[in-house]
Amino acid sequence: MLGLGIESTAHTFSCAVIEKKGNKGKILSDVKKIYRPANGEGIHPREASRHHIENSASVLSECLREAKTTIKEMDLVSYAAGPGLGPCLRVGAVVARSLASFYKIPIYPVNHAIGHIELGKLLTGARNPLVLLVSGGHTMLLAFLNKQWRVFGETLDITLGQLLDQFGRSIGFASPCGKDIEELASTSSNYVTLPYSVKGNDVSFSGLLSATKSAAKKSKVDACYSLQETAFAMISEAVERALSFTCKRELMIVGGVAANKRLSEMLQDVCKRHKCKFFVVPLRYAGDCGSQICWTGLLESQVKNGVLLKDTFVTQSWRLDSVKVNY
């Protein structure tokens, strides 16, 4: 079975083709173009959606060419219906609806966060993990029970990705800034004290953001290092408690921030203490990409034949713990 997946929730417009045989999936192509705001600025939803409109045709053509296939060969098309930025989501939905109606292909709206998790499971082989989803849009600890992902902890304010991006922009980096911060942080080992805020199993990052901006006035390098150490230690504490509570034997990290080596290092220590297997989504598929949406659409096709065009939708806030997973 061949699927086409379209991702356009925020800064990334991406298309991917995956071939599914039984419960195995082979990514035949995954092409993306990322909208990059000017240094120091955040995502402007209208500008990002314009970027997606301008690049959608070329990304789609390149994706099909790389997979050595055509639209007519597709058994389904899936698109990220939320959560995300309204103007951006609409671009992916319009492309998917146009293809579905013209070529008479079944269409599937997919929850973006579930896309991160399902692709993570496919690529790592994790079976029943505690999931840490850390990205631009999410900071959540999740476990699956009775056909639904359940939240064991989350951010009370900004996400881990927003923390890194907002701090990075304040010191002049271009968004997304996580990689630049990681590089700068690796050149320091001088910890400056920053606020550490774990409440129950939830985390709060806004005080940490303000304090790190102040610390950066003395030393950007030390601020980057201390920011990572503090934020990742908070996450590790929440993960450790959730592992004890859920007795999971696997931990999987997904989302753009999963690309960070220091975060993996700290979580690996946690896993060693809990005799738990550690999985991290491969770097190339950590950030938003069409494969996440494509694979989830293919999984959904096991239990339903798509939705009617009139029932396709986009929704800016669509929590993953409200989605019934029936496959």
Contact 278, 254 (CB under 8 A): no
* Nearest-5° Cα angle at 14, 161 to 324: 70
**From the list 161, 290, 297, 306, which residue makes contact with ligand AMP (rule: CB under 6 A)?**
161
Closest-CA residue to 151 (of 327, 270, 323): 323
The region of 66-74, 193-201, 255-263, 270-278 touching ligand AMP under the rule CB under 6 A is 255-263
List the structure tokens of 102.
């013209």
Q: Pick one of ligand AMP, Mg ion, none as the site partner of residue 164 (Cβ within 5 to 8 A by kind).
A: ligand AMP
Q: Pick one of Mg ion, ligand AMP, none as the site partner of residue 259 (Cβ within 5 to 8 A by kind).
A: ligand AMP
Q: Contact between 155 and ligand AMP (CB under 6 A)?
A: no
The region of 131-139, 239-247, 298-306, 314-322 touching ligand AMP under the rule CB under 6 A is 131-139
Q: Contact between 296 and Mg ion (CB under 5 A)?
A: no
Interior/surface letters 288-325, b for 16+ CB within 10 angstroms, e for the rest: bbbbbbbbbbbbbbeeeebbeeeebebeeebbbeeeeb
Q: Pick one of ligand AMP, Mg ion, none as the site partner of residue 161 (Cβ within 5 to 8 A by kind).
A: ligand AMP
AA identity, residue 169: R
- Cβ 209 to ligand AMP shortest distance, Å: 13
Contact 112, 7 (CB under 8 A): yes
The region of 189-197, 240-248, 254-262, 313-321 touching ligand AMP under the rule CB under 6 A is 254-262
The region of 19-27, 159-167, 208-216, 312-320 touching ligand AMP under the rule CB under 6 A is 159-167
Cα end-to-end distance, the chain, whole Å: 16
Between 160-170 and 206-215, two packed helices, what is the crossing angle to 10 degrees?
30
Say how many C-beta atoms besides its own lie within 10 A of residue 116's C-beta: 31
Closest-CA residue to 82 (of 276, 312, 304): 312
Q: Contact between 290 and ligand AMP (CB under 6 A)?
A: no
Q: Contact between 224 and ligand AMP (CB under 6 A)?
A: no
Closest-CA residue to 28 (of 70, 68, 58): 68
Closer Cβ to ligand AMP, 106 or 255, answer by number: 255
Contact 47, 35 (CB under 8 A): yes
The interface mask with Mg ion, positions 129-148, x = CB under 5 A, is ------x-------------
Q: Is the peptide bond before 176 cis (omega within 30 degrees of 0)?
A: yes
- Cβ 303 to ligand AMP shortest distance, Å: 26
- Cβ 73 to ligand AMP shortest distance, Å: 28
- Cβ 81 to ligand AMP shortest distance, Å: 16
Q: Contact between 7 and Mg ion (CB under 5 A)?
A: no
**From the list 288, 291, 293, 296, which residue makes contact with ligand AMP (rule: CB under 6 A)?**
288
AA identity, residue 188: S
Greatest CA span in the chain, whole angstroms?
Answer: 60
- Binding region for ligand AMP (CB under 6 A): 135-137, 161, 164-165, 176-179, 182, 255-257, 259-260, 287-288
